[in-house]
Amino acid sequence: MITDFLHLKAPGNWINDPNGFLYFHGAYHLFYQHFPYAPRWGTMHWGHAVSHDLVHWTHLGIALFPSKAYDRNGVFSGSALELDGKLHLYYSAVRYLAEEPEDIHLARGGGLQTSQAMLVSPDGRTFDNWSKRQIIPVLEDPALGDAADTRDPKVWASDGGYYMILGSKAQGQGKVLFYRSGDGTHWNYANSYTDPSFGSMLECPDLFPLGSSYLLVGSPMGVIQDGLPYADQTMYAPADFAEDTCTLRLLAPFTYLDWGLDLYAPQSTLDDQGRRVLIGWMRMPQAVRGEADGRGPWRGMMSLPRVAEWENGRVFFRPHPQVVAQFTQPVSSPRPTMPLRILASLPEGASLDLFGYQIRRERGAVTADRSQVFDQIPGYRMTASTPPISAPCCPLEIYVEPNLVEIFVNHGQYVLSHVVYGLRGSFSGPIDDMTTVS
């Protein structure tokens, strides 16, 4: 049985979006898009991992897999809900109109249909893939949404019943659709909302109350037009939402959730203390060779769990307290064992060198450069920057693992995360504190 610490990694081969993130029966359940046969994207299954503290994760194998005519080509992203003591899993079911003859994991010409389906697990540990049911058929009205690209149901319960938000597109622009249910099984269309900031398609929408308003998190496609990979990015904005009419209104422009531009498709839940926690997929352009735990080549990992908090008129994203609590051992060696938690205060013009990963402060912004620790993979962005920060000496809270660096800037005002390959050497710069796990 494969276990992970801090960051959930692919148990071997490929993972992408987090799915079904929920605290259920005393444990955190995190499902994930999984292709179990190669470290590349393919026919999607749902892998499954559990944790009691959001830090130590145990992989439990495959939970959902294609078993119906309507999901024969993929169990795509979705969410989970506890209802009557049982775990209800909601997902997008994909059927190709035709398969590529030389690669059945791809749709020929991109032709496919997507519907929404569900599976009920009595205990969150056993999953009868032959008991699934289709709950929202393929859309037939192109003015409402796209028959191929309407997906990623995020479901939640409220006093008014059960609600679902779906990502979609129509007339070349991304949109969200809302459905309502009285029992979590039978769903009716309620409303829709579109905005130019939703790009050409809005993937993996998540809507939840935060502070005195709501927060809409989503991953609009095609929002960066520089010709490099990752034109699709995760963004967020505060919003008004009226449950009785399922009417949505953005209160501010969309902004990046993570300024490193590697994180995608996050999903949130409430932890056991009622805090809103997000975990996102960190996109990896190439696989990592197998580790000593026997997982074999793996590609894809999750971010640290981040707590979203409304403070001083804006949203802050901070590492979960359970993560911080792991780092109690002071570091004195110039070549310490990872993972590491590093605290630094970065004035204008100062820089840090963390094992080849460079961080510096320029014109108020925090800029990171991974060009020395990214194997020079062609076409990928080597640098990223936050917006300018007014603090004269900007505090940084940095978490360093062999394949991921996450920088929480100015107490979580911004986050900048980078996938890396081959951190090497030692460290230098204005470091205030460095700790590792006991």
Catalytic residues: 17
Distance of CA 254 to the CA centre of its chain: 17
Residue type, 245: T
Cα separation, 184 vs 23, in Å, equals 18
- The residue count of the chain comes to 438
Q: Which two tokens stand for residue 297?
A: 């080549």
Whether the Cβ atoms of residue 196 and residue 169 lie closer than 8 Å to each other: no
Q: How many CB atoms lie within 10 A of CB 330?
A: 10
Q: How many CB atoms lie within 10 A of CB 400?
A: 22
